[in-house]
Each structure stands twice: as C-alpha cells, then as structure tokens.
Amino acid sequence: MTAPTSATPLTPYATLLGFTRYVDRTGPTKATFVGGLRKQRASRSGFNPHGQFVKALKADVAFHTGGTHLAQVADLVKPRWRPLYQALVPGATAWLESLGDPRSVELAQTRDALAMLGDLPVKINPHFGVRYADGRAEAVRLHFDETPPSEEATLATLHLMARHMDAVLPHAEPVLVDVRRGTAHRMPTDAKPDQVERWLAGEAAAFRAIWSTAA
C-alpha cells in the first residue's frame, strides 16, 4: 500500500482588493491578514455584500437615469444589508452627479487581468468602465470601506490598474472611487512608476513568503 500523498499546497494568490489591503498594513498585522486570506481561499468561502449595489450603480450609468436605481436599491436588499446600502447611496449618487449630464456618459465593458508581481499573481478586476462623449474613458474600482482609502492603497490600486490597462480597457484612465464620500482618486501627477513598481515588488515578495509559512 502506498502512503497517502499530502495535499497540494495552495499557490500564493491575491485579488486587487486583498493585495492593496495588505500593503496598507504594518508589522505583525500583515502576517495575520495574509493568513486570513489563505484560509479563506482554502475553504473557498467569501461573500460580496455589494453585488446588488454595483448592479444598481452600473444600471444608472447604462440607462442614463442619474441615480434612480441607486435610490431604490436599499429597499430591495435583505434587511441586514439595508444600513450598509443606505450609508453608500448618498456618496455614490454624488459621484454619479459629478460625471455631468447622464446622457453624455456611457457604461464601458472592462475585462479582468492577471498581474504578476514577481512570482505573485494579482487579479486586476475593476468594477466597470465609463466612457464620455469626448472619447475619454475611465476604468473604475470602487472603495466601500468606512475609512477613506490610504495614500498607499490608492497608489497601489491605480498603478496596478494602469499597468494592465491595455487588457482592462484600452486607453482608459484608472480611477478609484471612494463610494461613501463620493470622491474620485486618480494617479498623482508626481507619481514615479519605477519607484512604485519596486515598492510593490518588495511587498509581493513578502506576501508570498508569509503565505508559504502560514498554517
């Protein structure tokens, strides 16, 4: 009789959200966070409470309805999620209004991409794209947290999206929308891509090392 083989080890992997939340942490909390991601992946657990919210926001862009779907969505979700949705709607509506005349903005299809930071695969997954009447386009990633996105998380998100924009939405600009506050973050004009790339490569190497040693 042959001895049973050990389970295949989980390959290190991160989503854009997971990786940018990781770079935002310091010290021992980084290891705790990566260990949690690893366990979540092993159990294939996870639930996205924002799904219906994103659909409503996309519908308002696609149908040029200026917030009609957002105004209704909190009443359509399960009661446990209503406080969350009610907290998100005002800021999202403000961002939607900041785009200008609803008829001048179209919903654009984005595609996911797989970034490699050294040996670490990171899934780049914007929520959707918008295209303006003048031809400009933006790939939009939404930030739902109660606290605003940090400078580090914002820079990492925008850099990684820009790095793979040819696959995500060609010729578009990456935008991180802080939903609760209705504000849009774009790449700082003084950002140095080479420095950001080196910083993220170091973070990815550490992420991979922690993943490999996590129980």
Contacts of 193 (CB under 8 A, 6+ apart): 159
pLDDT in tens, 172-214: 999 999 999 999 999 999 999 999 999 999 999 999 999 988 6
DSSP structure class, residue 10? P
Average pLDDT value for the chain: 93
Mean pLDDT of 133-142: 97
Q: What share of the chain is helix, strand, coil (3-state, %, to 5)?
A: 50, 15, 35
Q: How confident is the model at residue 9 (pLDDT cuts 50, 70, 90)?
A: low
How many C-beta atoms surround the C-beta of residue 157 within 10 A?
Answer: 25
pLDDT in tens, 36-70: 999 888 887 667 899 999 999 999 999 999 999 99
Q: How confident is the model at residue 4 (pLDDT cuts 50, 70, 90)?
A: very low
Strand 128-132 with 113-117, pairing: unpaired
Q: Own/partner pairs for 147-155, CB < 8 Å, 24+ apart?
A: 148/178, 148/181, 149/176, 149/178, 149/185, 150/24, 152/23, 152/24, 153/20, 153/21, 153/23, 153/24, 154/185, 155/187, 155/188, 155/191, 155/196
pLDDT over 60 at 130, yes or no:
yes
Q: How confident is the model at residue 215 (pLDDT cuts 50, 70, 90)?
A: low
Q: How far apart are alpha carbons 118 and 205 in whole angstroms?
A: 7
In this structure, what are the phi and psi dihedrals at residue 76, rounded to the nearest 5 degrees? -100, -15
Strand 105-108 with 128-132, pairing: antiparallel
